[in-house]
Amino acid sequence: MLQEGTCAPDFTLPDKDGIPVSLSDFKGKKVVLYFYPKDNTPGCTRQAQAFAAAHAEFSAKNAVVIGISKDSAASHQKFAQKYALPFVLLSDPGLSAIQAYGVWQEKKLYGKTTMGVVRTTFLIDEEGIIEKVMEKVKPDSNAADVLALL
């Protein structure tokens, strides 16, 4: 897992429309980079809806929200349309950014151990430095917690 005060690894991944988006595209803005396990699951949906509801507040603070999962761009497109998500969703099926940020980890569910994305949020400053690492965040309060930091 990356540490606060270190440079956030740049990446280029396709958005819901298949258009390449890089972290470096957002230099000069705060970036709320959140990694989540899967589109259209209960926790991930609540988390996305909370970020969507606070979208104007993030914009007013010169911050952009970017969600990353290993779902396909097509899955992201359906997810964004279904819940009117106004922020960037990036597809990382090859796990390049997910592994670079250290959020691909062992998870235990019903006594079974699997590998998966651990719900984590990074607050990145205008120069690309990680200001805050929020591990094992709660879907319902994540957006409000990040707003409080801003």
Do residues 23 and 58 touch, judged by C-beta distance below 8 A?
no
The amino acid present at 42, given as its one-letter code, is: P
DSSP assignment string, 83-133: HT--SEEEE-TT-HHHHHTT-EEEEEETTEEEEEE--EEEEE-TTSBEEEE
d(CA 141, CA 115): 25
* Residues 6+ positions from 16 with CB-CB distance below 8 Å: 73, 76, 77, 79, 80, 89, 91
Catalytic annotation, residues: 44
Enter the DSSP assignment of 10.
Answer: P
